[in-house]
């Protein structure tokens, strides 16, 4: 029998859905995998970079109706309301020849477009029309001209990296990656960040010295102070950040439990793995022992303690994790270890290199609400937004919060598609978010505070969202000082109902 969370009908949970396929790939992590180098996620041109690399208009990346590459192995169902998994035989492998563009040099009039494969060009929908320098520019809506990356068509290396589908079975390692220890990785990243900071400070000091505007502190003192602040910032937060795979259902759930009940998260780095689990019998290696709990249905396994070492897939070029990582990139290993433990648990594997791609929603579904319960061994409760008002939904968050911060893990996930709703990386279709708490504004409006597991907030002004506060600091929400602000935003209660399909609790 379902448990009642209160006396009102609106606080009574709904029946759990039979199938949930929530997940969207982090486009920033995916672009870095393809480029082989980090990108500046705060740059005003980051949308252009992502659009070019992922071969899709930026505004069309974040809704499933556009067959976006961010949903590999997933598609809208026949009703266009929910995600369903694509059969492996329907996935297409692309090669270099598939990306050759047709010769457009001989096009002199619209009817000539038929020669490059556009049928009935005069009937094509105009995506955008604008004047530039007195000339009319048209962007035509046409999906069949050439081949691009999509939810069902990927290169072989991307298929191996971001989906559970592959040509060859056996021991798995992501393409262009090695299994490296997170401690070594953290030291390399820390050293690189401090080197970059020192370079930037040196340039700044040079300009200040030339202008004779050096303050009372000497340049050495100021540089040391800046570097000390950088070290504090890197060590302060370790929120999980999703990588290049469609498992937002898992990363949002991990963060939700860590945020509301941090003692539930195993961080004991002194644990030594049993040598019988190692290929080298006498070798001892540190790791984590993580207990995960069976909750039935898809994407589940028997309750078990899972031992994992600190090896994770690291890109050969960037020395950066391909999948889940910590927001501070400095010594916090537990986020990647939980992702690895889930992969090992779900595949019932015994080796130290489980297939991380099996945590993709395309493998066996993705349910962030059940995932929270699989971590904290509580009961998952589902509250669908369609039958509740915005005030009902914010009331559920308030009932599970103290001092504006959730005390029971909460997640929410968006609709699979929406008419113009999902046009940027803050609010994404078929995507899971951690629910962090609530805000009461000076007026009558109340907001629900959320975190995108991508750990990125779009540059201000890039995309507009109804009812969103994209800057959440301690002035309006006191718990803001307890986590990295990137990816954190607040939605007015009625806007939350509009964008989100379900709110869930594990208690």
Secondary structure of 414-458 in HEC code, one letter for each residue:
ECCCCCCCCCCCCCCCCCEEEEEEEEECCCCCEEEEEECCCCCCC
CA atoms within 13 A on the CB side of 498: 14
190's tokens: 């820390």
Q: Are 307 and 287 in contact (CB under 8 A)?
A: yes
Catalytic position from the list 255, 381, 415, 431: 431
Q: Is 452 a catalytic residue?
A: yes
Instruction: Work out the angle between the directed axes of helices 248-260 and 334-346 (0-180°, nearest 10).
Output: 130
Contacts of the segment 262-268: beta carbons below 8 A, 24+ positions apart: 264/375, 264/376, 265/334, 265/338, 265/375, 266/290, 266/291, 266/334, 267/334
d(CA 389, CA 493): 8
| β-strand partners of 492 | 447
d(CA 425, CA 470): 12
d(CA 406, CA 260): 6
Secondary structure of 243-282 in HEC code, one letter for each residue:
CCCCCHHHHHHHHHHHHHCHHHCCCCCCCECCHHHCCCCC
419's tokens: 């008419």
Q: Is 431 a catalytic residue?
A: yes
Q: What is residue 313's DSSP assignment? A: E
**Closest C-alpha to 32, from 300, 276, 322:** 322
Q: Which residues of 220-251 are buried (b: 16+ CB within 10 A; e: fewer)?
A: eebbeeeeeebeeebeebbbbbbbbbbbbbbb
**Closest C-alpha to 469, from 445, 453, 504, 433:** 445
323's tokens: 């999948």
d(CA 328, CA 307): 24
Catalytic position from the list 151, 376, 452, 485: 452
Show which residues are catalytic: 431, 452
């Amino acid at each position: 029998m379902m448990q009642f969370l209160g006396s009102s009908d609106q606080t009574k949970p709904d029946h759990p859905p039979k199938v949930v396929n929530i997940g969207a790939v982090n486009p920033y992590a995916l672009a870095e995998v393809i480029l082989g180098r980090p990108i500046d996620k705060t740059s005003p041109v980051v949308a252009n970079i992502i659009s070019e690399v992922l071969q899709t208009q930026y505004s069309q990346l974040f809704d499933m109706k556009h067959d976006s590459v961010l949903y590999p192995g997933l598609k809208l169902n026949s009703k266009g309301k929910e995600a369903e998994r694509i059969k492996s035989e329907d996935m297409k492998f692309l090669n270099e020849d598939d990306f050759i563009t047709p010769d457009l040099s001989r096009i002199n009039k619209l009817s000539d477009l038929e020669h490059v494969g556009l049928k009935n060009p005069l009937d094509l929908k105009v995506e955008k029309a604008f004047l530039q320098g007195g000339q009319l520019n048209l962007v035509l809506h046409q999906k069949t001209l050439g081949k691009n990356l999509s939810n069902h068509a990927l290169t072989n290396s991307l298929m191996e990296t971001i989906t559970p589908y592959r040509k060859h079975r056996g021991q798995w390692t992501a393409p262009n990656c090695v299994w490296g220890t997170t401690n070594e990785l953290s030291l390399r990243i820390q050293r690189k960040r401090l080197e970059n900071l020192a370079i930037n400070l040196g340039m700044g000091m040079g300009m200040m010295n030339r202008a004779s505007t050096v303050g009372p502190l000497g340049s050495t003192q100021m540089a040391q102070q800046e570097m000390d602040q950088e070290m504090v910032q890197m060590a302060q937060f370790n929120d999980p950040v999703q990588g290049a795979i469609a498992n937002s259902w898992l990363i949002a759930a991990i963060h939700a439990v860590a945020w509301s009940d941090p003692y539930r998260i195993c961080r004991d780095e002194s644990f030594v793995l049993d040598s019988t689990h190692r290929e080298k019998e006498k070798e001892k290696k540190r790791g984590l022992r993580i207990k995960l709990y069976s909750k039935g249905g898809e994407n589940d396994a028997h309750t078990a303690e899972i031992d994992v070492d600190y090896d994770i897939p690291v890109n050969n070029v960037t020395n950066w994790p391909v999948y889940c990582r910590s927001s501070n990139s400095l010594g916090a290993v537990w986020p990647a270890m939980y992702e690895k433990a889930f992969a090992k648990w779900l595949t019932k594997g015994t080796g130290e290199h489980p297939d991380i791609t099996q945590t993709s929603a395309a493998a066996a579904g993705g349910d962030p609400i059940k995932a929270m319960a699989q971590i904290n061994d509580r009961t998952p409760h589902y509250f669908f937004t369609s039958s509740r008002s915005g005030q009902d939904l914010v009331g559920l968050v308030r009932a599970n919060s103290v001092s504006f911060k959730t005390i029971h893990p909460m997640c929410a996930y968006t609709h699979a598609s929406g008419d113009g709703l999902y046009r940027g990386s803050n609010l994404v279709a078929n995507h899971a978010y951690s629910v962090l708490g609530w805000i009461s504004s000076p007026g009558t409006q109340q907001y629900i505070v959320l975190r995108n597991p991508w750990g990125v907030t779009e540059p201000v002004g890039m995309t507009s969202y109804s009812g969103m506060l994209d800057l959440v600091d301690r002035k309006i929400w006191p718990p803001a000082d307890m986590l990295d602000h990137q990816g954190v935003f607040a939605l007015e209660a009625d806007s939350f109902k509009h964008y989100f399909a379900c709110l869930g609790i594990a208690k």
